[in-house]
Structure 1
Amino acid sequence: MPRPDQEPFRYPLRWRVMDMAEAALDLLWPRRFAAATGWLMVLPALLLVGLLVAGMVEIADNSLRVLDRSTFRLSEDYTLANYRTVMESATYGGVILRSVWAAALTVVFTLVLAFPFAYLLVRTPRAWVRKTLLVVLFLPFFIGQVVRAYGLLIILGTKGVVNQGFGLVGIEPVRLLFNFPAVVFGEVQYMLPFAVLMLAPALTAIPQETETAAGSLGANWIRVMWHVTLPMAKPGLVGAGLVVGTLTLTDFAIPAMLGGGSQDFIANAIYDQFFRTADQGLGAALALLLVALGSVFAGVVIAVFGAGTLGMGARK
């Protein structure tokens, strides 16, 4: 019993609210259904995946129908004509090779630039340096892809900052936009934060004492980096390369803005078929081909290197 000088205990209102919520939950989801709680939690994700699968089925159906130019409707009969058009066209072959080559270059350049950034972010002992790097890392996410690409148009244009700098030293303006290198440069600039975010956890998991021990045994920093840090950071490199490669392969905005239409990529070709020529059948065939390319790329990377930081059993 409470002492006379003590106030009586009052049941907090938030506890009452929680009790009411628990009672309502027991009515909606009895305890005997507890074994299926996990499935209930994953149900929204399953619904989203189901919508994706339904959309892919519809795209696959459209890819087997040819556009009737007289009515601009897809034919009722199934045919592989759209796939034959893609396979026999030198134009689409060049688009596919260009897209794959751009994705490969973007992966290489992005990892080369992202690794030192992530390493400094993880290893720096100064808090202000780490905070500054974090701000620099996350700031591009608040700007948006289109705005960043537009900024590159201003910087790399004929009268942009770079060409103005060239003019100060007597160099004539150089065409830096609307070509393949401009697209790769834009993709690297866009993918760099994603790669850093994938690499940072892998580098954090490497004990700094391991590098210190290698140095105490006589290895210089180059040998430590090559024989210790890089091999132990392989899961992060694999994961970052996989994410950067697939995102670059399917990107639309940067090739459209920095390529200027002269360097068509597969995502832009799909857009043209769907929204410019209204050939949904051919666009669907190209879309399925893009899905196949991304799946093959991911499958090869996972089979050869392991799944990296994607949590699917990376090889040591």
Structure 2
Amino acid sequence: MTRTPDQDSFRYPLVWRLLDGLNTAADVLWPRKMARFTGWLLLAPALLLVGILVISLVQIAESSLHVLDRSTFMPGEDYTLANYATIADSATYARVLWRSLLGAALTVVFTLLLALPYSYVMVRTTSALTRKALLIVLFLPFFIGQVVRAYGILIVMGRSGAVNDILGLVGIEPLRLLFNFPAVVFGLVQYMLPFAVLMLAPALTAIPREIEAAANSLGANWIRTFRHIVIPMAKPGLVGAGLVVGTLSLTDFAMPAMLGGGSQDFIANAIYDQFFRTADQGLGSALALILVALGSVIVGVIIAFFGAGTLGMGGKK
């Protein structure tokens, strides 16, 4: 059999040689008889991270059972539930817990109200230019960062910011738009919106266009179609987005700290104060465990009643 000129001039690429070398090394280090354990090997990094988290939670739980000795500023040796009693008896921590829950709930509601139409237009538009523009606007905030975005809100909504300048054009005096609870919720909604859109887009994409067309052909207007078809079929995306937005909002630190002005703290801010300002690690650990328990209960109740949504990855509710 004669070789063609192309075959004679062919050279085995260096990248292929490197891949062959890696494949040979993998066969030596992980022989085929170990193939049934390959899945666990791939899971090992994630299991390591989860194990570190579990160990950290155990240490936090142990620390929460020790009261700070004010004379030495060291944790006491005796085990006690005094830190939890202090939290239960404190009206300040009750307000912080309530503010955190209310802020997270309002953030979920307003974020989903904004994210659903945005996701729907992005998914259903026939214009490639419009879809790309919406995607660019959606992903731009991820390159800015939460702290920088909070500073941007401080500038825009300040007394001499753009919002008050616009209000001044219609004769409205400058308003105090910052350092209050609505400002914190506004910042959280602005921060959480891209996450909600990314969670909703796959659920809306999975809804066949033909179903909406059939509803229109039967006389349903777009409002009834959206209410009775799109929203029920987008339930997995709504539940998944609500879980992500709710948990992130409940544990957020930067927005309450920067837009609340120190008067609208969430639980994370109270934990920070105890660890780094008063050096009371026991009380801070107790607050951290309460936050973990509270978030876990809320997520468990939601999953029990509504399912895991898109977070369930198609599994049975």
TM-score bucket of the superposed structures, by smaller chain = over 0.9
**In structure 2, distance between residues paired with 1:166 and 1:136:** 26
Q: How does 1:68-107 map to 2 (within 5 A)?
A: 68-107=69-108
- Secondary structure, counterpart of 2:66 in structure 1: coil
The equivalent of 1:164 in structure 2 is: 165
**In structure 1, distance between residues paired with 2:280 and 2:84:** 13
Deviation of residue 12 (structure 1)? 4.2
The percent of aligned pairs where both chains have the same amino acid is 72
Residues 67, 4 of structure 1: alpha-carbon distance in 2 compared, 3 angstrom cutoff? closer
Deviation of residue 24 (structure 1)? 1.1
Greater mean alpha carbon deviation, residues 243-252 or residues 24-33? 24-33
Deviation of residue 17 (structure 1)? 2.6
The equivalent of 2:2 in structure 1 is: 2
**In structure 1, distance between residues paired with 2:18 and 2:163:** 62
Residues 18, 168 of structure 1: alpha-carbon distance in 2 compared, 3 angstrom cutoff? closer
What letter matches 1:2 in structure 2?
T
Tell me, which stretches of 5 or more residues in structure 2 are unaligned? none
**In structure 2, distance between residues paired with 1:90 and 1:257:** 23
Q: How does 1:26-175 map to 2 (within 5 A)?
A: 26-175=27-176
Residues 91, 216 of structure 1: alpha-carbon distance in 2 compared, 3 angstrom cutoff? same
Deviation of residue 214 (structure 1)? 0.6
Deviation of residue 31 (structure 1)? 1.2
Map Cα deviations across residues 183-228 of structure 1 (whole Å, 9 max, x no partner): 0011000000000000000000000110000110111111101111
What letter matches 1:206 in structure 2?
I
Between the two proteins, the alignment pairs up a number of residues equal to: 316
- Secondary structure, counterpart of 1:141 in structure 2: helix
- Secondary structure, counterpart of 2:220 in structure 1: coil
Map Cα deviations across residues 259-291 of structure 1 (whole Å, 9 max, x no partner): 000112111000000000000000000000000
Map Cα deviations across residues 9-60 of structure 1 (whole Å, 9 max, x no partner): 6544444333322221121111111110110011000111111111111111
Greater mean alpha carbon deviation, residues 16-25 or residues 136-145? 16-25
The equivalent of 2:227 in structure 1 is: 226
Checking the alignment, whether the CA contact within 8 Å between 1:307 and 1:313 is kept in structure 2 is no
The equivalent of 1:202 in structure 2 is: 203
- Secondary structure, counterpart of 1:254 in structure 2: helix
Deviation of residue 158 (structure 1)? 1.2
The equivalent of 1:181 in structure 2 is: 182
Q: How does 1:233-272 map to 2 (within 5 A)?
A: 233-272=234-273
Checking the alignment, whether the CA contact within 8 Å between 1:306 and 1:314 is kept in structure 2 is no
**In structure 1, distance between residues paired with 2:4 and 2:67:** 89
What letter matches 1:46 in structure 2?
L
CA RMSD between the two structures: 1.5
Deviation of residue 172 (structure 1)? 1.3
Greater mean alpha carbon deviation, residues 42-51 or residues 1-10? 1-10
Checking the alignment, whether the CA contact within 8 Å between 1:157 and 1:177 is kept in structure 2 is yes
Give the TM-score taking structure 2 as reference length.
Answer: 0.96
**In structure 1, distance between residues paired with 2:266 and 2:134:** 33
What letter matches 2:137 in structure 1?
V
- Secondary structure, counterpart of 1:278 in structure 2: coil
Spell out structure 1 runs of 4+ moving beyond 6 A. Answer: none
**In structure 2, distance between residues paired with 1:11 and 1:160:** 63
The equivalent of 2:312 in structure 1 is: 311
**In structure 1, distance between residues paired with 2:85 and 2:15:** 66
